[in-house]
Amino acid sequence: MKIGFIGLGIMGKPMSKNLLKAGYEVIILNRKQSITDELAAAGAIAAATPKEVAKQSDVIITMLPNSPEVKEVLLGENGVIKGAKQGTVVIDMSSIAPLVSQEIAQQLGEKGINMLDAPVSGGEPKAIEGTLSVMVGGKKEVFDKCYPIMKAMAGSVVLTGDVGAGNVTKLANQIIVAINIAAMSEALVLASKAGADPELVYQAIRGGLAGSTVLDAKAPLVLDRNFDPGFRINLHMKDLNNVLETSHEVGVPLPLTAAVREIMQILKVDGMGNDDHASLIRYYEKMAKVEVKRKAEAKIAANK
């Protein structure tokens, strides 16, 4: 089976590499030539346009920043819709607005092209490991056909409903992740300002009810002052914008989500938009005039 992959950024590049490792023939399209060259050296076939990718592929995966880019790649003048044959499947693994997923699926469906919306969670580390969580919306028979492809990139692949349900699920995921990071930030800033060792506080609470995947992923990065992007603040803001837009459309107030989104806006204005979303803690640190980090002796022990 030939798989097209469009969008080889922080997430897309390792995901496409895992497809190559699984033995699939992968046709790629990306704006950055160095990444295209890297994947071509690993066995991928480079194409010049989404239309060209579609002509060569049975399944096309998109991993793009937001709704406008997905619409352009799939429905534009040189888009996938212009080159895909009937029966082709599009798996959009971007995180976009659910209503846009449904709109795109309808237009593709008129040309006999099936679509799954299948956003992912797990960030760059899990994309590299091939252990992402994939939340899928679409027809069950299409899901079943494409399950092995998605499983080559993921630890968990779950059908959550019709097209659009995948992105609704991702929005719910992003609410929980954002508020978890904010809660962790408040807790560790309080602990540090009150004179406790934040590393020991983290170790003490991680096994109890306050423990979470988010805590285990982000607390060590904060303690090491490592804010290199696994998932950028700018991208999480984009997701929360989609959350709030959708929530307003369906009449659901989300005050905590709105507050965290505004904190991210403050950090973006301060020049941190391309940093990891764990940088939320720096908003609280600035207000409390304290920095959360490992104590020198703990850092030495951790590196032994």
* Cα–Cα dist 110/112, whole Å: 6
Provide Rg for the chain, Cα atoms.
20
**Burial classification of residue 56, based on how many CB atoms lie within 10 Å of its CB (0-12 exposed, 13-18 middle, 19 or more buried):** middle
Evaluated on CA atoms 122, 148, 93, 256, the torsion sign reads negative
From the list 167, 169, 172, 173, the residue with the least C-alpha distance to 97 is 167
Distance CA 241, CA 235 (A): 10
- Residues designated as active site: 170
Residues 257, 174: Cα–Cα separation, whole Å: 9
* Closest to 42 in 3D by CA, of 80, 8, 88: 8
DSSP state of 277: G
Q: What are the structure tokens assigned to 220, written together?
A: 């060590």
CA dist 242 and 250 (Å) reads 12
> In this structure, are residues 14 and 128 in contact, taking their beta carbons and an 8 Å threshold?
yes
**Cα separation, 70 vs 63, whole angstroms:** 8
Q: Which two structure tokens, joined as six digits, stand for 102?
A: 């449904």
**Cα–Cα distance between 197 and 64 in angstroms, integer?**
40
242 contacts 171 by C-beta, under 8 angstroms: yes
Distance between CA atoms of 201 and 292, rounded to whole angstroms? 11
